Structures are given as C-alpha cells and as structure tokens.
Amino acid sequence: MKNTLLAVIIVIASACSAQQLQVSYVSDLNIGSIVPGANKYVSENSPDAGKFVLTGDGSFMTVSVSFNFSRTISGNREEMPVKYTASYSTGTNNNRKGGIFDPYSGTTLIFDGKTKEYTIRLGAVLNAAAVQQSGVYSSPVIIIINVISN
C-alpha cells in the first residue's frame, strides 16, 4: 500500500514541475462590412484583429510560431483572395501595439522568468469580387508552435 501511494505522489509532482506551454484563443478576426470589388484591410494591431496568447511557465523556452494559410477563403462555389498580416507583443495587454512580422515566414519567441506570455495578432486583406456570391466563406488556418530550444 505504501509503495502505491508513493508512486502516485511522484507522478503528480513530476507533472506539476514539467515545462508546459499553453495556447489560448482570445478573439475573432472581424472583417466587418466590405464593398464588393474593393479591398478591405484589418490591421494586425487593430481591435478587430484575431488574437491568441502563448503562455509559458516561467522557465526558459524558445518556440517558433508559424502558420499554414490558404491563399483564399472559399464559399460554396467561389473563392475570395486573402493575405494575412501579423504582430506579436509580450503580455496580454489588448491595447499594446505589437512588433510586425511576416506570418508566412513566422517568428521566434523567447520565454523566461520575466516574459511568460506573448500575444499574437492576425490581420488580413480581403478583396471581394465585383460580383461576390452570398454565403459562408471559410478557410483553414493552422498555427504551428515548435519548441526549438530542446
């Protein structure tokens, strides 16, 4: 019985002390209204930008953040070109403007005891055709977080 109890305690202690990485989705990328045939730009630093947060545990850790985007968002029978923009900043302050990076190349983030959180923001440029069909348009975005310090 003692042995069993000891094993359980060791497992829990190990899980608590391990390095961890949390990904939080915070807000939608809201394009709002657009005029067909015109470009619509939502800045990566605007309140309408899509936002997510990476959180470390205070230990040293380096991660690369990259994205797999489609060049278009697709409706039932049509597609709409889209180009994404991105920025990052430390912490979770909604009003802080971030440093711009190319989301098609990605960026590297360094976590330590002082910097435990990064906010990543995504903006977009869309161009609806002059005759754009109504409907639901969607496109997958894959966010890849690679731990590169180990």
Partner 1 sequence: MKKLFEILIILLLAGSVYAQVTVAPVTLHMSDADRNGYIVVKNNSSTTSWEVSILMKFGYPASDSTGRTYIYFPETENESDPSAVDWISFFPRKFILKPQEEQTVRITAKPKNISEGEYWGRPVVTSHPAISIGDDGSENINAGIGVEFRTVIALNYRKGSVYTGIKFDTLFAAYENGKFIVKSNFSREGNSAYLGNLVVKIFNESGKKVKEMRQDISVYYSLNKSIEIPADKLPEGRYTVEASINTDRDEPGAKILKGNTATRKIFVTKS
Q: 81: which residues sit within 8 A by CB, 6+ positions away?
A: 71, 72, 126, 127
Of 93 and 139, which CB lies nearer to partner 1 in the complex structure?
139
59 touches partner 1 by CB under 8 A: yes
120 touches partner 1 by CB under 8 A: no
* CA–CA distance, 25 with 128 (Å, rounded to integer): 27
What is the contact mask toward partner 1 in residues 9 to 38, using x (rule: CB under 8 A)? -----xx-xxxxxxxxxxxxxxxxxxxxx-
Q: DSSP letter for 95, please.
A: T
137 touches partner 1 by CB under 8 A: yes
**In the complex, what is the shortest distance from the CB of residue 84 to partner 1, in angstroms, rounded to a whole number?**
10
| Beta carbons of 123 and 29 less than 8 angstroms apart | yes
Options 2-10, 58-66, 96-104: segment touching partner 1 (CB under 8 A):
58-66
Q: Which residues pair with 66 in a beta bridge?
A: 144
